[in-house]
Amino acid sequence: MIRRMTDDRADEVTVLAAGRFLRLVRRGRWEYVERVRGAGAAAVVAVTEAGAIVLISQPRPALGGLTIELPAGLVGDTAGDEGEAGALAAGRELVEETGYEAAEITPLMAGPSSPGLTNEGIALFRARGLRRVGPGGGVEHEQITVHEVPLAAVDGWLAARAAEGYHVDVKVYAGLYFAKIDA
């Protein structure tokens, strides 16, 4: 059962500002961000046959630096793909960002990505049966680097990246939970 807000103005939504990809809205007294297009996000927990988790790094202007992340992207955010399934988006993003194609993609969990900031949800998917089909690196204007990190060494690897100044997305740790229980 989902608990609803008790604020008597919870249904009043006012758009405060809007850009090409995001809009700032107010519901009752709360301000938050929502996406203009898309139906949430999909992130992928992908482990190679050799036992390495596939992670990416890329610059994130909002943080002013590089992040370590799971391969991920928006669901149904392009014209004609408005009804795209999350698993389909997960597979598409895995190929675009990492160059790996999965024989099987299954859902793991879903929930809010940052509940104090946005109404966006994110679903985690497991990718199995990986095979390299391209170089990865993302699409136009993305600067993605692919990292294959052995599960046995990932904790130290992440600590070293954090010490170097990388921002480690907390969803990486959720993904590791699922990767390690499946290993």
Span 11-68, pLDDT tens digits: 788 999 999 889 999 999 999 999 888 789 999 999 999 999 999 999 999 999 999 9
What is the domain range of residue 26?
A: 1-36
Using the CB atoms, write b or e for 12-37: b if 16+ within 10 Å.
Answer: eeeeeeeeeeeeebebeeeebbbbee
Give the domain CATH number at 56.
Answer: 3.90.79.10
Please tell me whether residues 14 and 68 are part of one structural domain.
no
pTM for this predicted structure: 0.90
Is a pLDDT exceeding 70 seen at residue 1?
no
User: How many separate domains does the chain show?
Assistant: 2
Least confident of 67-71, 74-78, 135-139: 74-78
Please tell me whether residues 80 and 98 are part of one structural domain.
yes
